[in-house]
Each structure stands twice: as structure tokens, then as C-alpha cells.
Structure 1
Amino acid sequence: MADVFGTALKDYQNGRYTEDIKTYSSLDEEDVIPVPYLFRTFDEMPKIEQKALKLARGKVLDIGAGAGSHSLYLQEKGIDVTALDNSEGAIAVCKDRGIKSTVLNNVLDYSAEKYDTLLLLMNGIGLAGKLKSLSQFLTHLASLLRPNGQVLLDSSDIVYMFEQDDDGGYWIPDDGTYYGEVKFEMEYKNQKSNPFDWVYVDINTLQNACESNGFNCELIISGEHYDYLAKLTLKEY
């Protein structure tokens, strides 16, 4: 499978940036991921990401690290951070940018170490793919946590993407699937990725899933556009 995302990151890192990543989804026909945005500094990050990075502590695993901007910031602060991504290009860029500890793997296949903080930023919980897979995903995250560890994640309630009726309710298709489930494809320089599942989880749905899987779920802050940062900690029994 073409590493579309990684190819775009490598091009930018090596001074060959000429276009952005196109995305096609089941929600809208076409959008773009601006590649320079993936290389943003702390000051250029949304408040939700800044807050998450300030809360990160101990030994940190940055899941879905991409170009490594979050890992780089933490490393510069003297925090022991590992950047994990399943894109070869992304990990090559992380190394090139000076990140000392990297892992090329899908998080669900990774179990080598345990951490005090798991970071899942830029809607990293979306890696679960579908709502029905969220329990399995949370169980795996729990297995990567040290005692008193935490998961810091952001996501969005994408209900705003559906039409509203006159009394403020939303027209959500009643087809038996959760409205936050999206199918994506990425395209860069005429190369297309395979379609992949991604899930945006509203805070109530996340809290219910956490309750069923032994986690406390605390809403830390809400963003300006239906987005939020949550902190998950394991319940003590």
C-alpha cells in the first residue's frame, strides 16, 4: 500500500513541498490536509493540543505521531517521549527532525513497554476505526499504561455536519451506524491510499465507553468547534 501520508511528510521535510494532501470521505467530497500544518510549533497549535502537552508527564507514548511535532516539543522539555506511527515516511521524518525514540508500528500491534501518558492528538481515538471497536481499543490502551497512568485524547462531535431542522435538532441518518463513523481516502501527487475507517467520538459516547471498560473519563476543555480534550484514567477497584 502506498504510504501517501509519509510521502507528503518526507517531501515537505526535504524541501519538495508543492501540494497538500487531498482527503475524500463519506461525509464530504473533498478536503485537504495542509502539509505545513503537520510541522507546526507549539505556539501554532490549537489550545486543546497545548493543554494536552502541558498535562503530559512521565514516560510518554505519542500515538499516531505523524511529523512528530508533539513529540519534539515534549523532548525539548526534557520529557522521555516515544513517537509511534505506522507510516514509514512519518517515522523517517520524526528521526530526521531529531526525535530520539521512535516506533514503526500500528498501536494495536504494539505492547513492548508501558507508559505514564498516552497521547492521542488530532483525533487519535479515530484509530479505533468504528464505534464497535472502541472497547477493544480502550482495553489495549489500558494494557500500555503504568499504574496511575493517563490517556490524553482529543476528538470532535461531528453532529454539526448534518442538517438541522427548525427546532434545532439534527437530521442524522437512521441506518444503524454511529454518525461519527467516517470512511476516508487520502491522495497525494496522484497516489491514493486504500480506504480506511475513522471514528469521531462525542464526549457522552466516549464517557459511556470508558465506564464500560474500567476508565474514568474527565472532560478537560472544550474547543471552539465541537471539539474537546479528555483525560482517561483507570478506575481503582
Structure 2
Amino acid sequence: MEVLFNKDILGNALLDYHDGRYSEDIVTLSSLDEQDVIPLPYLFRTFEQMPKIEQRALELAFGKVLDVGCGAGSHSLYLQEKGHTVTGLDSSYGAIEVCKLRGLKSVVHSEIQNYNDKQFDTLLLLMNGIGLAGKLSCLEGFLKHLKELLKPDGQILLDSSDIIYMFEQDEDGGIWIPGDTVYYGEVTFSMEYKGQRGEAFDWLYLDFNSLKECCNSIDLKCELVISGEHYDYLAKLSLK
């Protein structure tokens, strides 16, 4: 079957689900030689269906909130229902349309790196939101940009996973990582949906110590809020 290319795989899938045309899920292909599936119903989950890390992040959110990479808007809508002033931001046009259809009052269609219009009390980057940095070498610049979007007493709430567990361990406890790898958490992904494939993109899975080291170098305070059950964690960043 011929595969057609489409720049907004995620948006098309979210619109289909919202409009009652759900027949299959998004398939992800990665440089780790793994194929996985993103179940579309999961992207429309309620607060009760969210993992503890996401629930905790939403409980900690305060003031004016920017939900970075908002997707179908599940986090934003929960906060809006709780009375927060929240803006959902996503680079996917379809995702933004779904957020509007679901009742989110404030949305922005943009890459976070290109957005600098306002400052916020809380920046949310959930579902491995730090992955938007793409590569470890881009992390410092990415975090500096987020700092510019923060009010003086603001906070950045982000989660990620340390994927070192995915690599082979030898008898001495050492980890075998391919020699051409700059950092083991750098992954290239592409998504497929209904015979269409999106452009490949870089994604970063970041261990907490590397995050903290980078934060220290740019005068950001980095705190571990909670650890999950799958090598994941929630971190809180704030201005020193």
C-alpha cells in the first residue's frame, strides 16, 4: 500500500476521533527500532484516567497557565473547569481545532520556540513535554526560552522518562549504548495514521540529573516532585 505524507498526522487523528470517525490508532516508529501505538481514546482522558504524575502537575498549577503541546486539550480543559485562566498551545492545527470544539477558550497555534507574546505563572509540559527540545544540545536554549515566558514567581512543570532501561546491560552492570549515540535519550520518531505518514522529528527523553545540571547552568531551580512507576518523573523548575 502506498504511504502518503501528511504534516499533521496527530491533528487528523484527533479530529477523526472527536467527530466520531474512530477506526484505528496512531502508529509510531522510532530510531530505537521499535513500533508502538498511541491509542486515540487515551488522548481524550479524564482527570481520573490520568497517571499520578499528570494529576499532581495539575494540582500544582496556579495562576495564568500555558499548556505547551496541549494536544486534544484534556489537561487544559480540566484546569479551565477548575477556574484557571489557561491557554493551550500546539503546533498541530488539527489539535487546536479539537481544543476549540471541546470548549477551550484560549488557544495558540504555534511552535513553543516561536511563541513569546505573554508571560505565565505556570508552564505545563506534560506527556514528556521536555521532548520538544529535540536534542540534549538544544536543551539549554529551550529552557532559556521557557524562562522568558515565566513571571518572576512562576513555575515550569514538566515530566520525562529516563530510558536507560531500554539498553542492554552487561554482566558487570554496564550499559551498552551504540557508539554513534550522542545521548541515549535522543530519539527520532515518525507517526503513521490511515495510510499516511508524518515527517520525522527529534524527541528527547531526559534523565533527571541531566535536567538538573542544565538548570543549574542557567540559574533555574530544579526540584523532583514525584517519581512514577516507569522510570518517569515530574519536575518543577523556577527562577532562582
Shorter-normalised TM range: over 0.9
RMSD: 0.8
Task: Please say if residues 114 and 144 of structure 1, whose CA atoms lie closer than 8 Å, have aligned partners that are also in contact.
Answer: yes
Give the equivalent residue in structure 2 for 1:233: 238
Task: Please say if residues 21 and 35 of structure 1, whose CA atoms lie closer than 8 Å, have aligned partners that are also in contact.
Answer: yes
Q: Give the deviation of 1:85 after TM superposition.
A: 0.2
Give the equivalent residue in structure 1 for 2:122: 117
SS of the residue corresponding to residue 116 of structure 2 reads coil
Task: Write the mapping of 1:54-133 to structure 2, written as runs, cut at 5 A.
Answer: 54-133=59-138
**AA in 1 matched with 2:218:** N
**AA in 2 matched with 1:177:** V
Give the equivalent residue in structure 1 for 2:45: 40
Q: Give the deviation of 1:176 after TM superposition.
A: 4.9
Flag as ranges the 4+ runs of structure 1 deviating above 4 A. Answer: none
After TM superposition, the score normalised by the length of structure 1 is 0.97
1:196 to 189, 194, 201: 201
Within 2, Cα distance between the matches of 1:169 and 1:228?
Answer: 23
Within 2, Cα distance between the matches of 1:28 and 1:154?
Answer: 24
**Does structure 1 residue 172 correspond to structure 2 residue 177?**
yes
2:139 to 131, 134, 137: 134
After TM superposition, the score normalised by the length of structure 2 is 0.96
Q: Which has the larger displacement, 173-182 or 47-56?
A: 173-182
SS of the residue corresponding to residue 66 of structure 2 reads strand
**Does structure 1 residue 8 correspond to structure 2 residue 47?**
no
Q: Deviations over 1:173-194 (max 9, x none)?
A: 2325100000000000011001
Task: Please say if residues 75 and 81 of structure 1, whose CA atoms lie closer than 8 Å, have aligned partners that are also in contact.
Answer: yes
Task: Please say if residues 2 and 191 of structure 1, whose CA atoms lie closer than 8 Å, have aligned partners that are also in contact.
Answer: no
**Does structure 1 residue 163 correspond to structure 2 residue 168?**
yes
Within 2, Cα distance between the matches of 1:139 and 1:98?
Answer: 32
Give the equivalent residue in structure 1 for 2:229: 224
Name the count of aligned residue pairs. 235
**AA in 1 matched with 2:187:** V
**AA in 2 matched with 1:117:** T
Within 1, Cα distance between the matches of 2:181 and 2:55?
Answer: 36
Q: Deviations over 1:120-177 (max 9, x none)?
A: 0000100000000000000000000001100000000000110112233321223251
**Does structure 1 residue 143 correspond to structure 2 residue 138?**
no
Within 2, Cα distance between the matches of 1:189 and 1:114?
Answer: 38
Within 2, Cα distance between the matches of 1:74 and 1:37?
Answer: 18
Structure 2 residue runs without a partner (length 5+): 1-5
Structure 1 residue runs without a partner (length 5+): none
Within 2, Cα distance between the matches of 1:176 and 1:49?
Answer: 30
